[in-house]
Amino acid sequence: MSLLKSRKKTTRSPRKARGNGDFQKLHINVSSPKIVMFQVMSGFEKGLKVIMLIALLGLIGWGGYRGLHHLFLGNEKYKLQEIDLQTNGHLDHTRLVEIAGIDLDVSIFAIKGEEVKTKLKALPEVIDCEVERRLPGTLKVIVTERVPAVWLESLALGYPGRKDGGILADAEGITFPCEGNMWNSARDLPVIVVNDVEEDSFRHGSKMKHTEVIRALHLINNLEQQNLRAQWHAERVILVNDYSLEVICRDGSCAIFGMYDHARQVADFVSVFEHSLQTNRMIQHINLIPKKNIPVKFAGDAIMVKPRRRPTPVNSDIRQIESILDRD
C-alpha cells in the first residue's frame, strides 16, 4: 500500500555546473530587531553626512558671496562716481538716469549694463547704445541718436507741427517724438503738412508708410543738398494732392513741385530764384512741374538798374531764363 501512496512534488533549485561538480544556490533572508535598528542607524548616519556636506557647501557659498559683496558692491572704491555719456544727439545725463533707472549711490557693479542698454534702445529716437564699466567708478554710455530732419503736422492724428513735444522724422522717414533737449536744435526744421492720412501710417521708431509724405521728405532732402540761400529754405511743405507739393519758403514765396523728378525741378528752382535775385525781382509763385515754359508770378514790377559798364554777351541759358521770367 505504501508503494501506491502519492508523492509530494518538489522543485529543485537550479544548479550551475562549475569545475568538476555542481552546487546548489541558497537564498536566506535573516531579520531581527537588532539588524533592523542597525540598518536604520546606518541610513541615518549617511543622511546626516549628506546634510552636513550640503550645509558646509552653503556656508562656503554664502561666505564667498559676502566676500565678493564686500569687495565689489560694498567697496567705496567702486562706487559710481561719473557717467561718461557720449552721444551725437541731445540725450543728457538727467534723462539718461531717469529712463535707465540708474541709482547714483551704488557700486558700478550693481548697475546692470544690459538692462540700461535695453531701456535706452527702446526709445524711438535711439539707433544703438553701448554700456561699459571703467574702473574704478566710471560708467561709459555711448548712444547713437537719430538726427531730426522735418516736423510732421496732421490735424487728423493730432500732430501739432513745429512745437515742443511734436513729432519729428529723420532723413530716412523714421518718426519719433520731440523730447528732452531736442527742441533746441529742431525748432527751425521745415514742416510737412498732411491731412489725408491713415492711423497706421506712422509708428514711432519705424519707417513711415505714407507714400506722399516720403516723397515730400525726399524733396526736402534734395533742397537741403543745394546749399540754398537762407531765405529760400523750405518753411512748410504741404501735400496738395497725390501728384503735387506746395513749398512755402522763408521769404514767403511759393513753389509747386511734383512728386517725382525732383532733381530737375530743384535745379530749375535754384536757377530761376538766383536770376530773379540778380534782376531785383521777388518771386511770389512758381510752378516747377513743367519742363518748359515754367509759369512764374512776381510780387512786384522789376526794378531797372542801369549797368555801370559795358554789358557782357549773354549765353543761351541765361537768355532762356530771362524769357521765362519776363512772361507774366
Q: Which domains does the chain have, with CATH numbers?
A: 76-145 (3.10.20.310), 148-325 (3.40.50.11690)
How far separated are the first and last CA of the chain, in Å rounded?
A: 153
Q: Supply the pTM of this predicted model.
A: 0.70
Q: How far apart are CA 51 and CA 34, in angstroms?
A: 26
CA angle at 86 for the pair 81 and 89, rounded to the nearest 5°: 135
CB 25 within 8 A of CB 14: yes
CB 151 within 8 A of CB 162: yes
Task: Choose among 288, 293, 292: nearest CA to 326.
Answer: 293
Q: How far is CA 73 from the centre of its chain?
A: 32
Helix/strand/coil for 278: helix
Residues 304-324: tens digit of each pLDDT: 434 444 555 555 555 556 555
Which triple of cell numbers denotes residue 198? 491713415
Task: Choose among 221, 93, 90: nearest CA to 149.
Answer: 221
Q: How far apart are CA 169 and CA 173, in angstroms?
A: 5
Q: How far apart are CA 275 and CA 315, in angstroms?
A: 13
| Average pLDDT score over the chain | 83
Residue stretches of the chain with pLDDT short of 50: 1-4, 302-309, 328
Q: What's the pLDDT at 93?
A: 92
Residues 57-104: tens digit of each pLDDT: 877 776 665 555 555 556 777 888 999 999 998 899 999 999 999 999
Give, in order, the Cα–Cα distances in Å from 36 to each of 28, 42, 49, 193. 16, 10, 20, 92
